[in-house]
Amino acid sequence: MINPKKIEELAKQLSDNLPSGVKQFAGEFEERSKQILQNQLMKLDVVSREEFEVQQHVLLKTREKLEVLQAQVNELEKKFAE
């Protein structure tokens, strides 16, 4: 779900952009940034792309069935109205 490689890249970018006087702490900062990012991302209520696509497919099938049922209800209503 969460790509550790991306977290490492983001932590590295943060570390690379530190002022030169702070660069001596870059390794520690990078590691701590990685930990913070991982902790915060784990708190998010997200789903994987695969889960999203499965649910999207389920929703599409449900909509198709609903349209068929609605058409049947409309037909029955016409018959009873006559």
Residue span of the structural domain in which 57 resides: 47-82
Q: Report CA-CA distances (Å) from 73 to 47, 59, 62, 78, 80.
A: 36, 21, 16, 9, 11
Distance in angstroms between the alpha carbons of the first and the last residue of the chain: 56
Mean pLDDT (the chain, rounded): 85
Q: 38 with 1, same domain?
A: yes
Q: 64 with 30, same domain?
A: no
Q: 71 with 35, same domain?
A: no
Q: 37 with 57, same domain?
A: no
Reported as a single tens digit per residue, the pLDDT across 45-73 is 778 889 999 999 999 999 999 999 999 99
Q: 40 with 51, same domain?
A: no
Q: 8 with 21, same domain?
A: yes
- pTM beyond 0.95: the answer is no
Domains contained in the chain, number? 2
Reported as a single tens digit per residue, the pLDDT across 28-38 is 777 888 888 88
Q: Quote the DSSP letter at residue 18.
A: S
Q: 2 with 42, same domain?
A: yes
Cα separation, 24 vs 19, in Å, equals 10
Higher pLDDT, 19 or 62: 62
